[in-house]
Amino acid sequence: MEQLARRFKGLCDPTRLRVIRLLDHGELCVCDLTAALDLPQSTVSRHMAFLRNGGWVNSRRKGKWIYYTLAQPQNEIQAEVLRALKQHLPALQQAEQDHARLMKHLANKTHKTCS
């Protein structure tokens, strides 16, 4: 029960739900998330720690940057929640705006941006 509560706590913020939507795109650097969410890096990193601790995302470090992906669900409850989020989040206006900013950022990104 404790682990399940920690997992759900990771989703108890609108910004974290926005991140889940963006990571459905695939692996993203913290600089990509910062640009898409239009938030400071420190704020994004704090939210990513909640998602990582809740088992929703995986991270890897490359140089000074951290890259994130959605984690594989650890149980059927988490899998069902993730399926529901992937289905319904894209229809929300904020998620559409974030996705548009992400696509614009990625189109203008150089390979040296997150080195």
The CATH code of the domain that includes 40 is: 1.10.10.10
Do the domain assignments include residue 115?
no
Under 8 Å between Cβ of 35 and 47: no
Bridge partners (DSSP) listed for residue 28: 68
Confidence band (pLDDT; 50, 70, 90) for 80? very high
Q: For the whole model, what pTM was predicted? A: 0.91
The total number of structural domains in the chain stands at: 1
CA distances from 37 to 3, 77, 105 (A): 28, 27, 11
Identify the CA nearest to 23 among candidates 62, 63, 71: 71
**pLDDT for residue 41 is more than 60:** yes
Determine the structural domain holding residue 32 and report its residue range. Answer: 2-106
Do the domain assignments include residue 28?
yes
Do the domain assignments include residue 26?
yes
Do the domain assignments include residue 59?
yes
54 burial level (CB within 10 Å; 0-12, 13-18, 19+): buried
